[in-house]
Structure 1
């Protein structure tokens, strides 16, 4: 008790010293970036540059992992321009379906797609007319969902006219359209029509100002063209992102990601000109970030990634949210996983319904947990009665490019394949090898010696056994020689 009657409070000298230790940095700190030295908490001059190099590397890796969606669409636009789809009135399509020639993230070989990009800066308000019974999506340039058109959109598959407005648009909004305003000027358009090529060619894209006399569209067959739409995994990645940031309004990106990029010299209305030091760090950051993205994809650690307990089969869309949100938090690994492997984002992919939409499964290992070797022979039994209202398919992809494995024009097998051999119990055994096992040619997907590969199962119109998990996929079996 003090003389004035108050009670003394606070920590003992011993406890206070312990508290100070928790807020202090030791004089010598060993880190993955080297050894840092301090004088009573102040970095010594010889350590300052190493510390900042480490900070730039961390921010570069973070930028890579968080900006993969945007870089993916920059690369997509660049590749489509090479293929001749260089204006919104030109629509690329795959006739009759995509082959393994283009470098393109996980396309399927079963359905026909149409793709193009809107340029709302050059064109202003733009109209898209979609055909009946179509499944069409518009995503912004950061690969965020803008609108569904067709069956999942407000026209409910009857066909309709959609009006897309540029960011900050304050002009006329005429009646007669389903109207959406995008946060970016550039937007990715995907058109899938159930009736195939002829239906896709009913699509129309034109300026709103040309609505009374809209010119014809040009359709470019890209199914067998050689071009690359996959983003870089080296320093060039940051040049792709710098291009995106320079073209779009500052409000197009959230402050956290924008701040991360700005710390690396990537900001709107500022030339991206890193010095030799930063350029080297960013090259390392992209390569390390790509390694982390590949681990997230092929060796997922999130329990939600796995379809069944004890199985290697994984969900490509983790968490059931097209925004990758869970209790208000962004699942960053899920976002990177999806966009590192795939394209197109829509709520319809995250919430498949019985008999509608599609479901996906993939793996990158066999029943023993070994990586898949293109020189070996494997089998996979598709159990009887696959829960697909329409059809199922298995496509095989290159583990480097995440594109169709260039072992054949169509490295895939589906239930639409007429000559598929079925077992007595109704199951179907698929074979993967450089050379078809004798008598198994109709059920064989060729692989390439010296390369790995990974399969993706698609169920079109998934049925109840998919949702209640009563139908399960067995593991891939390495057939011993």
Structure 2
């Protein structure tokens, strides 16, 4: 019996030794992995990077390195939040601009009854059509009715600047007008008949309408004032009288901030709107820098300094994307005339208003920035012009030599004969800082086929000049520039015809003369 126990003890001892031997030899098994594999999964004790030398002990970062990395991570996230938050802050700025003029209720609407001029800070607006816009607040008012007359051209965008519905020829009313019923995301109840029903995912929406002034400005304004109605559906039996607030000639701002205030604007949107406004990825990005629904945005001194740096980098990135797009990369498809490497660009890369790439499934963040940093309002109809209707644009941020514009110099744009526009063409100049109309001695900084006294060349072509002083004999072909400032230009075709659409007719480049 004692002998049996002794044998069992010996066997257990042998097994234990074997296990111990395996454990001891285990580290040597790692050495059998190819060196390149081991190197690929290991971290050296010192790593040189663009943010400095990072220090580790056998793969564990030192406290100093950890602090450096977290600062950089927060900065990167802040920069990304700026670029991905531009649409939200931009439409927020539009709404706040309207409120600043006293139009705060659904039945109070802004109208540029004498057109928009350069007093207003508004991204790339024009001076050639009559604008009307309003804010729908479905959290406050519930379902809201928009009763539009025939002949309108417009759209509704939500608080993320996403397209909701067109109004006019491209909309369900097909240009005949009618009643649109805009429903809040939490709407419950029966859907009444007699309305164009518009479900939404947001509380606040921006209504934008354009009216042709072909029959005169006053007639266009009266069409709106005598027929447009906006009111909560709950007041349909006794809607309040409309109030039209004239914004013509008034100085007010609708442009989002490019400093730390930007994050406060973004936070205001996140706090007010429902969770479904944006996807979880962007919502998580914003939360990572302290912008989270239901929580106060209160960065400490360290985080505020980092975000101040981040927004400066983000703003520089946005301007780089707009002025120098990577036309052979993420922004392939933004050029109007890629076959000649022209400086004329389109607003929508690849004419895709959803910024979802060629496959329709891959978000192109650069294309979204390319549009939302200098422009406003999204509609598929704006990206797919039909012959003789609507409008189409070309934008030049650089001259023919791909250099930025200098307000102290003289430039020329040659418009060949017979511009293919059923209605008219127009050239408007903009401030590179505000992306709004350039403020000069010309309150309406536009030259075009409707300009009284514009001079044509003997062959029917037209030259437009950009310089501080008008060229002799071409005062009506001149757009004033400001020494010490830059600018850019938009060429608009109203009622574009086939030669514009098939590009057999093209404008010249903007060329430096001196």
TM-score (norm 2): 0.89
Cα deviation for residue 12 of structure 1 reads 11
Matches within 5 A, 1:240-279: 240-279=265-304
Secondary structure of 1:341's counterpart equals coil
Distance 1:461 1:429, change over 3 A: same
More divergent stretch after superposition (138-147 vs 385-394)? 385-394
More divergent stretch after superposition (349-358 vs 94-103)? 349-358
Distance 1:371 1:168, change over 3 A: same
What corresponds to 2:16 in structure 1?
none
Distance 1:216 1:51, change over 3 A: same
Cα deviation for residue 30 of structure 1 reads 2.7
Secondary structure of 2:294's counterpart equals coil
What corresponds to 1:363 in structure 2?
396
Which residue, out of 30, 37, 45, partners 2:48? Answer: 30
What corresponds to 2:437 in structure 1?
404
Query: Is the Cα contact below 8 Å between 2:106 and 2:232 reproduced in 1?
Result: no
More divergent stretch after superposition (34-43 vs 127-136)? 34-43
CA distance in 1, matches of 2:294, 2:283: 13
Cα deviation for residue 467 of structure 1 reads 2.1
Cα deviation for residue 444 of structure 1 reads 0.5
What corresponds to 2:10 in structure 1?
none
Cα deviation for residue 13 of structure 1 reads 5.9
Matches within 5 A, 1:449-460: 449-460=483-494
CA distance in 2, matches of 1:414, 1:403: 18
Matches within 5 A, 1:310-349: 310-326=341-357, 327=359, 328-349=361-382
Query: Is the Cα contact below 8 Å between 1:366 and 1:476 reproduced in 2?
Result: yes
Cα deviation for residue 24 of structure 1 reads 2.6
CA distance in 1, matches of 2:33, 2:323: 48
Query: Is the Cα contact below 8 Å between 2:454 and 2:474 reproduced in 1?
Result: no
Does residue 373 (structure 1) correspond to residue 406 (structure 2)? The answer is yes
Secondary structure of 2:333's counterpart equals helix
What corresponds to 1:120 in structure 2?
138
Secondary structure of 1:334's counterpart equals helix
Query: Is the Cα contact below 8 Å between 1:115 and 1:188 reproduced in 2?
Result: yes
CA distance in 1, matches of 2:158, 2:52: 41
Query: Is the Cα contact below 8 Å between 2:321 and 2:370 reproduced in 1?
Result: yes
CA distance in 2, matches of 1:315, 1:261: 30
CA distance in 2, matches of 1:131, 1:428: 37
What corresponds to 1:67 in structure 2?
85
Secondary structure of 1:209's counterpart equals helix
Cα deviation for residue 313 of structure 1 reads 1.1
Secondary structure of 1:213's counterpart equals coil
CA distance in 2, matches of 1:40, 1:387: 70
Does residue 232 (structure 1) correspond to residue 269 (structure 2)? The answer is no
Cα deviation for residue 123 of structure 1 reads 0.5
Which residue, out of 69, 73, 97, partners 2:115? Answer: 97
Cα deviation for residue 27 of structure 1 reads 2.2
Query: Is the Cα contact below 8 Å between 2:428 and 2:445 reproduced in 1?
Result: yes
Does residue 466 (structure 1) correspond to residue 500 (structure 2)? The answer is yes
Which digits, 9 at most, give the CA deviation of each residue in 1:345-371, with x for residues without a partner? 011112112222211111122222222
Cα deviation for residue 398 of structure 1 reads 0.1
What corresponds to 1:193 in structure 2?
211
Matches within 5 A, 1:134-173: 134-173=152-191
- Contiguous gaps of at least 5 residues in structure 2: 1-28, 214-219
Cα deviation for residue 31 of structure 1 reads 2.7
Does residue 430 (structure 1) correspond to residue 464 (structure 2)? The answer is yes
Does residue 307 (structure 1) correspond to residue 341 (structure 2)? The answer is no
Query: Is the Cα contact below 8 Å between 2:447 and 2:479 reproduced in 1?
Result: yes
Secondary structure of 2:308's counterpart equals helix
Query: Is the Cα contact below 8 Å between 1:131 and 1:193 reproduced in 2?
Result: no
Secondary structure of 2:182's counterpart equals strand
Which digits, 9 at most, give the CA deviation of each residue in 1:369-388, with x for residues without a partner? 22211111111101112121
Q: 4+ residue runs of structure 1 moved beyond 4 angstroms? A: 11-15
Which digits, 9 at most, give the CA deviation of each residue in 1:51-102, with x for residues without a partner? 0111001111111101100000111111211122222211101122100001
What corresponds to 2:22 in structure 1?
none
What corresponds to 1:220 in structure 2?
245
- Contiguous gaps of at least 5 residues in structure 1: 1-10
Secondary structure of 1:183's counterpart equals coil
